[in-house]
Structure 1
Amino acid sequence: MLSEQSAATVRATLPVVGGAIGEITERFYARLFAARPELLRDLFNRGNQAAGTQRQALAGSIAAFATHLVDHPDQRPDAMLSRIAHKHASLGVAPEQYALVHEHLFAAIAEVLGEAVTPEVAAAWDEVYWLMANALTAIEKRLYEESGGAGWRSWEVVERVEETEDVATFRVRPADGGPVPDFRAGQYVSVQVELADGARQIRQYSLSAAPGSPLRQFSVKRVRGEAGPDGEVSGHLHARVRPGDRLDLSAPYGDLVLAGTEAPLLLASAGIGVTPMVAILGELADAGHEGPVLVVHGDRSPGAHALRADHEAYAGKLADATVHFWYETGADPAEASHRAGLVDLAEVTVPEGTQAYLCGPLPFMRAVRAQLLGKGVAAADIHYEVFGPDLWLAQAG
C-alpha cells in the first residue's frame, strides 16, 4: 500500500508528527472553520469541538493509520476504516470534502512543523493521507449505494416513551408514507435538528428495537453537562419533541452487527450503551437463536437502567442466555441476575470462541476488553461501538 520510500520517511518522522498531532489538528480545525464556518454550524458537533474530543479523535485516527501502514505495509486497517466510514456516511460526507480537509490539514502541518516539512516529508505524509481518504471514499460510496444514497428523510414522531428520568424513546414513521427500509440490529441513525440559533446540528442514536418493525425506534439520553455544557441536541429532543413533530433522519449505518456465526456471544453494555444491545437481543429472540448468549450490563441503579424490561424480556426468550446486571446502588439480592458494584467478569464463565460486542463509556469498554483478553478471548473477536468521537484510537496504547 505505502511505497517503500514513503514508508521509511513516515517511520522516521512519525514520532515528530505524532508528538505534534494534537497541535496540528487544533490548527486544522481553526483554519477549516475560519474558511467554512457553516461546517461547524451544520455538520460538526459543536459540543465535541468545544471539548476538544473531536480533535483528539482525528489525531488518534491519523496516528493509528500511519502506524499501521509502517508496521503492516501489506494490510489495511479495515475495522478502523469501516467505523469511520459508517460515521461519515451517516453525516452525508461527500468525496470532495476530503480535498478540503487535505488543504487545511497540510497547511496546519506546515505551520506547526515549519522547516521540518521537507518536500520528501510532505510527499510521504501526502501519500498516507490519500491512502486513508481514498479508502474511506470507496467504503462510503458502497454504503451510499446500499442505503439508496446520502441525504435526509423526514420522519413523524408517533410515540414518545419516558424510559428513565434521563432517557426517552422516540418511535417515528416516514412522513411521506413510504416504506421503512430494513436495517441490521446494532446500527444507528443520524438525527438532524434545527436549534434556536438556526444551526442544524446532527447526532447519532442507536436503533433500539429489532429489525422488521414498520417504525423506527431510537432512544436518547439527555446529556447533562458535568465538565461542560448540556447536550444541545439531546436537550432539544427531550424538551421540545413530541408526537406529531417531524425529524430528519439519515439511513441506518454502523458496523456493530452480528457476524452471522454460531459462536457463543457476549453482549456487554453500560448506561445508554444498552440501546444497540437490546436491538441485537430482540433480533436473536425473533430468530429463535439457540446458541449461548452472555448478557452483561452495568448501570447506576435499576431505575437508571434504560430499556430494562426489554433487556430482560428478550434475554428470557433465548434458549441459552445468562444475564448479569451490575448496579452501583440498589442491586436486589433476591434477583439472580443482579450484582452489586461495577462490571467484573472475574467470576463469569466466558465460553471458548466467544464473539464479544461492547458498547458504553470508554473506561467501561477498556476494562471489559482487558478482562476478556485475560480470559483468552481473541482481540479480533472483541467488537465495539463508541458514541461520539472515537477516543479509543486517541488513547490507544
Structure 2
Amino acid sequence: MNLNYNDVSKLPSSLSNLCKLTSLYLCHNRLAELPELNLPSLRELHLANNCLKELSSEVLGGLRGLRVLDLRENKLDELPDDITLLQMLERLDLANNTLSSVPCHLGLLPHLRSMPLEGNPLRLLRRDIVQRGTRQLLQHLRDKLPNPASSYPGFGEDSCHPDGGTFKEAAEERLPKLPDKWQLRNTRQLVYSEKAASVPEELLQSAVEAEVPAVDLSGNTLAALPDKLAELSGHVKELVVSCNHLTCLPSYLATFTHLVFLDVHANRLDALPDLSALKFLRELNMTHNRFTSLPECLRGSQSLEILFAGDNRITEVDVSLVASWPRIATFHINNNNIGYLPPTLGNVTQIRSLLVEGNPFRVPRAAIIAKGTNEIMSYLRSRVVPGAE
C-alpha cells in the first residue's frame, strides 16, 4: 500500500484488519504518532519524512515480522528498549533524527545488515565508529553490553532464531556461509560483508538466478566492483558498496536503470560515471570520499531527494545543479572545502534538511548555522541581490 506524499496525520486502528498486508509506504506525511497495530505479515514499513517523536512498545509488539523499518527524517530523540522485539529486522534507517545514542542490544539482532545513522547528534557514539559501517558498529554495541543477552527484550536464554542456536550466538558468529539462490530468493537481498578483496563468483551467480533487488557489498576491501555484478542490472533497486577501497565505479552502473538507492560512502572516489540514465534514483550517499564537485552527471534528475556529500573536498556549490533537482529535500555538504555559500541556494525551497557546517566560508556565521536549516535558508534568501538567479 502506497500512501506517500499525502497529508496523513493519523492512522486508523482498522489498519489491523489488513492482516495480509506486506508493505506500507507512508513517507512524506504529517504523522506524529502511530496507533497500536497488529500486522503479522507486514515486512516493510516506510515512515520517512514525518513528525514522529517516539515509538511505543505497543506499536513494535504488533510488527514483529518487519524486515525493513525506515524512520529517516523524523524527530526521534530515543529508541525504546523494545526495538529488539523486531528480531527479523534487516534494515533500520534512523538517519536525520535527533538521537544522541542507540540501545546497545541492537547489536544482538541477528539479521540486521544496514542501519544508517548519519545526521543525528550522536554524543554517546564516537563518529569514527559510526563511519566504519553497520557491521563494525553492531560489533561495538555488542561489546558494550552491560548485561547478559537474555536480559533484553526478545532475547530469552533459550530464544532461538530461524537458523538455529541462540540469538546471541547468531549475532556474534555471523558465519560467512554462502547462500544459494533459494535462500536469496527468500531474503530478496545479497549481503556479503567479510572484509574480502573479492566476491565469490558462485555467490554472484546465485544472486543473478535469484534476481535479487538489493545488493550489499559493504565492509570489504574491494578495489573494483566485479564484472559479474553487471548481470544484476535489470533487477537491483538498492546497491550498497560503502566502506571498500574503490577508486572508481564501473560504467555499467548506467545500466542499473531501476536503482533507487546508491551508497558509495567511505571509499576513495573522486568521480562518478554517467548516471543520467538512473531515472528512479532517490538517494545517493557519497560521503567520505575525494570528490571535489557535486555530481554533474545527475543534473536534471527528477527523482533525487536525498544527497549526502559531506566529508569530501568539494570547493563550490553549483546552485543551478541543485535547483535542477525538483524533489531534493536533504542536501548535506558538511565538512568540505566550500569557501562561499551562494545566497541563491536559499531559493531552492524544496530543501528541508541542509547541513553545511565544517566548511571554510565565513558567511553565514556559525551562530546562524547552529540554528538549523530554516534559519540558514531564510538568511541566504535575505542576501539575494534582486535579479539574481
Asked if Structure 1 and Structure 2 have the same fold, meaning a TM-score greater than 0.5 normalized by the shorter chain, the answer is no
| TM-score under structure 2 length normalisation | 0.28
Whichever structure has more strand as a proportion of its residues is 1
| TM-score under structure 1 length normalisation | 0.28
Greater RCO (Cα-Cα under 8 Å, separation 6 or more): 1
Whichever structure has more helix as a proportion of its residues is 1
